[in-house]
Amino acid sequence: MRFAIPRACPVRRLMLSRRMRYGSNALVLTCAVVAIVLMVNFIVARHPAKLDLTQNKMYTLSEETRQVLRKVDRDIKITAFFPEGDAMGEMVKDLLKEYTRLSPNISVSFVDPDKNPSLAKRYEITAYGTSVVESGSKSRKVMQYDLVEYSGESQMPGFAGEQAFTRAIIGVLQEEEKSVYFLVGHDERDLVQDYWQARSFLEGEGYTTKTVNLATEGKVPQDAALLVIAGPQKDLAPKEVEAVQDYVNRGGSVMVLAEPLRQKGQLSNLKAMVARWGVGMNDDVVIDPASHYFLDAGSPIPEVRYHDITMKLVTEKLGCVLPRSRSLYEVKDTRDSGVTLTALLETSGESWGETDLTAKRVLFDAKADIKGPLVLAYAVERALEPKAEAKEAGETQAGSAGDSAKETAGATGAGSAGSRARMLVVGNASFLDNDVVTFQGNIDFFMNSVGWLVGKEESITIRAKSPSFSRVYLTGQQASLVFYSTVVGLPLLFVLVGGGIWLRRRNL
């Protein structure tokens, strides 16, 4: 049975009308667009992807962090204590989303300490913006001041959150902590006041920082992986030199940062000690007119020589700023046997070592000053004598049963590589000061040096990221062109195109 719709039927006329045809086409097109949008959203939700178009990749994790996250094989919990609506908290939240995206073993929770004071008390939170990174029984705190880095090279503070959280993750994953001891008792740099940023970097990578006074202790502690002598203003006593030398003979690692003093002839015992390692120290102040920081010729930026320590600086073309340095030289005749030296930092040929330490105006004096190029840092390796190794092995076997394996490793030089002791001598201590350490590659040089000395070759130094702003300067004519084309031209164009389409469809 067939049904026919009369031509005069209103329904027939409506279905065959131009309005119905255009309306149905628009409905089909709308449904198709909605379906495509839903499908795209479904695919993106299943396979998330992003594109960071910022100039300095503000929202992209560095390759160093990616390597660390690939190695995370246990659960890590990050609890961030930020008040609701905190701007820094939002930046941290965006950052940690990337951590959880790359590692399923990392979980993140944000807590408002004002709304949940009991939880804040349990974690011993005393300041807003504190985050706790924990895994098992180990935990690290990331303070709000760790998230911001001020540098003399930028007018705006940088966001250092990635570096702080990555270092904290390394700290909770590290099985064994290496102890870095800083010598005290000779007006050295203070860890709390002068070197707190350098100390923060060390502790962030799992090192334990401690101080030791050899005059009272009598020897370098058993668990010392590295001894740092940072900018002494007074000389070491002969007994202290003997204690350091004994530590080196057992395979210990030492870093000496000896800046120039106001008077010549000071630090004679320290000079004699490093001379045995093949390094001589001049009583001068290095001046480099050809390569220095801004207008200060007394803050040289030396050329970086290739070495395991400086590999990253060379490949990434990073320099070091060393304000007020003394020059070093190689000692060949009186040094111990088995010592090998490698120059790491060297000034330009136009530099010189100013020997008048009290001069207010410096000019090169060919008769008194030391002509460049000058070496500012040496890496030293010394082969241990077989009898010293045998003696130490005997002492280790004769130790009490209660001695821990960690103490034994420290006694035999936990920082040494095989049967060699390692030393680093730098004619500068200011490059680690709080207001200088973030300049160029200073912190990279320090952390890589520590890693080389203790046998831990990997270190994490991720550049802080600052928002970049590009300014455009327009002439009056260009400003008028932009105004009329955007405020007047574009709306008028839409009106004309829309009107043309309306007229055409009306006449169909």
* pLDDT for 174: 76
| Burial class of residue 504 in the structure, from the number of CB atoms within 10 Å of its CB (0-12 exposed, 13-18 middle, 19+ buried) | exposed
23: pLDDT strictly greater than 90: no
What's the pLDDT band for 457 if we cut at 50, 70, 90? low
- 154 versus 360: the higher-pLDDT residue is 360
Segment 202-208 mean pLDDT: 80
* pLDDT for 464: 55
Segment 465-473 mean pLDDT: 58
Give, in order, the Cα–Cα distances in Å from 4 to each of 1, 9, 12, 13, 21. Answer: 10, 10, 10, 14, 21
* pLDDT for 508: 63
Coil, helix or strand for 312? helix
> 26-40, 147-161, 176-190: lowest mean pLDDT where?
147-161
Residue spans of alpha helices (H) in 412-466: 442-454
The whole-angstrom separation of Cα 244 and Cα 228 is 11
Q: How many CB atoms lie within 10 A of CB 180?
A: 24
* pLDDT for 427: 97
What's the pLDDT band for 361 if we cut at 50, 70, 90? confident
> 18-22, 151-155, 411-415, 429-433: lowest mean pLDDT where?
411-415
What's the pLDDT band for 298 if we cut at 50, 70, 90? very high
* pLDDT for 99: 93
pLDDT digits (tens, 9 = 90+) for 224-282: 999 999 999 999 999 999 999 999 999 999 999 999 998 888 999 999 999 999 999 99
Q: What residues contact residue 266 under an 8 Å CB cut-off, 6+ apart?
A: 235, 283
* pLDDT for 400: 42
Segment 285-313 mean pLDDT: 92
474: pLDDT strictly greater than 80: no
* pLDDT for 16: 58
* pLDDT for 233: 95
Adjacent-strand bridge partners of 133: 78, 140
113: pLDDT strictly greater than 70: yes
What's the pLDDT band for 460 if we cut at 50, 70, 90? low
pLDDT digits (tens, 9 = 90+) for 386-397: 654 444 444 544
* pLDDT for 396: 46
The verdict on pTM exceeding 0.85 is no
Segment 213-219 mean pLDDT: 95
CATH of 56-175 among 3.30.1330.10, 3.40.30.10, 3.20.20.70, 3.40.50.800:
3.40.30.10
> What's 58-89 look like in SS3?
CCCCCHHHHHHHHCCCCCEEEEEECCCCCHHH
Give, in order, the Cα–Cα distances in Å from 181 to each of 67, 194, 449. Answer: 29, 16, 15
Q: What is the dihedral of CA 148, 150, 156, 161, to 10 degrees?
A: -20
Segment 187-209 mean pLDDT: 88
Are 101 and 59 contacting, i.e. CB atoms less than 8 angstroms apart?
A: no
pLDDT digits (tens, 9 = 90+) for 86-104: 999 999 999 999 999 899 9
Adjacent-strand bridge partners of 158: 149
Residues 178-454, CATH architecture: 3-Layer(aba) Sandwich (3.40)
478: pLDDT strictly greater than 90: no
What's the pLDDT band for 4 if we cut at 50, 70, 90? low
- The answer, yes or no, to whether the previous bond of 373 is cis (omega within 30 of 0) is yes
The whole-angstrom separation of Cα 152 and Cα 323 is 14
43: pLDDT strictly greater than 60: yes
The whole-angstrom separation of Cα 348 and Cα 319 is 13
Segment 432-442 mean pLDDT: 89
Which helix (H) or strand (E) element contains residue 111? strand 106-111
Segment 175-190 mean pLDDT: 91
- 380 versus 192: the higher-pLDDT residue is 380
Adjacent-strand bridge partners of 200: none
Are 334 and 466 contacting, i.e. CB atoms less than 8 angstroms apart?
A: no
| Of 166, 190, 209, 151, residue with least CA distance to 450 | 209
| Of 403, 454, 395, residue with least CA distance to 255 | 454
Are 368 and 284 contacting, i.e. CB atoms less than 8 angstroms apart?
A: no
* pLDDT for 274: 96
Rg (CA), the chain: 33
